[in-house]
Amino acid sequence: MFAVVPRVRPVLDPDFVPAVLWNRAYRSLVEADAGSRPFEIVLVRPDGRGSVHRSRVLRADHPEAALTRRYAERLLKFLLWQRGGSAVRVIGAPEIATHLAAVYSPSGERAFDFEFMGERVYGARFSVAAADRVSDVLESDDLPVGRHLEGCRVGFDIGGSDRKAAAVINGRVVYSEEIPWNPYFEKDPSYHIEGIHDSIARAAAKLPRLDAIGGSAAGVYVNNEVRVASLFRGVPPDAFQKHIRRMFFTLRERWGGVPFEVANDGEVTALAGSMALGANAVLGISMGTSLAGGYVTPSGSITNWLNELAFAPVDFRVDAPRDEWSGDAGCGVQYFSQQAVSRLSVPAGFRFHEALTAPERLLRIQESMQEGDPRARAVYETIGTYFGYAVAHFADYYEISHVLVLGRVTSGSGGGVMLDRARAVLGEEFPDLAARIRLGMPDEKDKRHGQAIAAASLPSLGAAKRR
């Protein structure tokens, strides 16, 4: 491991090792190595679409060659959760391909990723192999959905603590409602299906007619199918396959087959930000129950990538906090979510009863923030420091002009403290990025209505109905 020392240390977590600084230190070694080699990671989905990431690595017999294994493993982890893919082809370093194949295997450290990226998301066995070249990858990322505002539409958003729906006429919200619910451990599929149907019905009742339905939800959705989503973690696997996987097709049929599109909530967040800002190259980040990410390209489209930044590594400490689901260390969910606030409350000096949930702890800390409690401020300053380094890290993989941040964690004055600290990190460590990337939060109107309008805009009225 490198002795990476950030100029700005998180006040409650001084041992934090920013991924961006570690990677830059490794790349400096590579630049000084006359025998360094081109290195490519190619990700391919079953439909032949995919992506190629090009970099360089140390020569195989370099004294610090062990660092290449760490670099390549963390790089692959990020790319998988950013772009997605079930087949990985490694070009330029066969010994690294062998290492990655062992790590990303049913018995390896990344068995979770092996299973998730294979059968669960793409319905194909996951594989990692060396290759001389890959010439048959179709690098097509844009999705032709969104920005359709004409007509009478319903937009909905389902999360871990509430479900929202809005009635939208020609891009104007005429009604919106937020209903609390607790989907995580509900075993009965009808709880989920009927709950979403109820929200749609309440909004549709405020419209003279219903032309289209668009929705956003936490999880992975491919062609309107639910592939993986923690919202439905309580549903048994057989019931998930029978009722949940194609639940949005069921709902569309109930509503007469109107155009119906669903996208990951992070994607819709980014789209909402892009529409509100009148700008593209927008990375949307939602800090709530978990961490959701979404991206609008410089051309103004959302993508067919996963953008599941909750699983993307941002801290390269070996003993970094671990994600309880995947078991991996240093991933975004432990730094930018209610879980992060709960974790940091301990070194901040808060003492909560063990029965208090993460959302309840967040609320207590937000109340303390309003009262001027320096312990609460330290929590937000720490998250802001994390975030400044994470934005610089994300900028190595995305072309970004704007970063739009929202979610329950950002509510209240703590959100402003967090962004101010993130801007300070960028200015101190990455002045070139500070000059070209704008960090911001939506105003209250956009918070209330922007997501609903963007979700409602997903379907095209002229689009052919899905099978």
Per-residue model confidence (pLDDT) at position 465? 43
Whether residues 249 and 125 fall in one domain: no
pLDDT of residue 187: 96
CA 403-405-406 angle, 5° bins:
160
Q: Two tokens at 40? A: 């490519």
**Judgement on whether residues 288 and 158 belong to the same structural domain of the protein:** yes
Other CB atoms closer than 10 Å to residue 263's CB: what's the count? 24
Enumerate the β-bridge partners of residue 53: 41
Residues 161 and 87 in one domain: no
pTM of the model: 0.90
Residue-wise pLDDT tens for the chain (467 aa)? 678 999 999 999 999 999 999 999 999 999 999 999 999 999 999 988 889 999 999 999 999 999 999 999 999 999 999 999 999 999 999 999 999 999 999 999 999 999 999 998 998 999 999 999 877 777 766 777 889 999 999 999 998 888 999 999 999 999 999 999 999 889 999 999 999 999 999 999 999 999 999 999 888 888 899 998 889 989 999 999 999 999 999 999 999 999 999 998 888 889 988 998 899 999 999 898 889 899 999 999 988 899 999 999 999 998 999 998 899 999 999 999 999 999 999 999 999 998 998 889 999 999 999 999 999 999 999 999 999 999 999 999 999 999 999 888 999 999 999 999 999 999 999 999 999 999 999 876 666 678 888 999 999 997 544 43
User: In this structure, are 309 and 422 located in the same domain?
Assistant: yes
- If asked whether residues 72 and 124 sit together in one domain, one would say yes
| Domain, as residue range, for 51 | 33-130
Domain co-membership, 360 together with 230: yes
Distance CA 440, CA 425 (A): 15
Last residue of a domain, one of 130, 165, 187: 130
Domain end marker among 130, 162, 184 = 130
Q: What is the CATH number of the domain that holds 433?
A: 3.30.420.40
Asked whether residue 1 is assigned to any structural domain, the reply reads: no
Which residue reads 């970094």 in tokens? 320
Same domain, 294 and 317: yes
371 Cβ neighbours under 8 A, 6+ residues apart: none
Residue 453 has φ and ψ, to the nearest 5°, of -65, -45
Q: Judge whether 386 and 335 are in contact, CB under 8 Å.
A: yes
Residue 403 lies in a domain: yes
Same domain, 78 and 190: no
Distance CA 198, CA 162 (A): 13
Instruction: Give the model's pLDDT for residue 466.
Output: 41
What's the pLDDT score for residue 353? 92
> What pLDDT score does 160 carry?
81
**How many other C-beta atoms are found inside a 10 Å radius of the C-beta of residue 34?**
5
Tokens (6 digits) for 323:
């994600």
Check residue 464 and give its pLDDT: 43
Total structural domains within the chain: 2
What tokens appear for 138 in the block? 């179709």
**Considering the domain boundaries, does residue 153 fall inside one?**
yes
pLDDT at position 139 is 74
Regarding whether 210 and 68 lie in a shared domain, the answer is no
Helix H or strand E segment including 122: helix 121-122
Task: Name the nearest CA neighbour of 452 among 176, 249, 212.
Answer: 176
Same domain, 403 and 310: yes
Q: Residue 409: name the closest of 295, 309, 286, 322 by CA.
A: 286
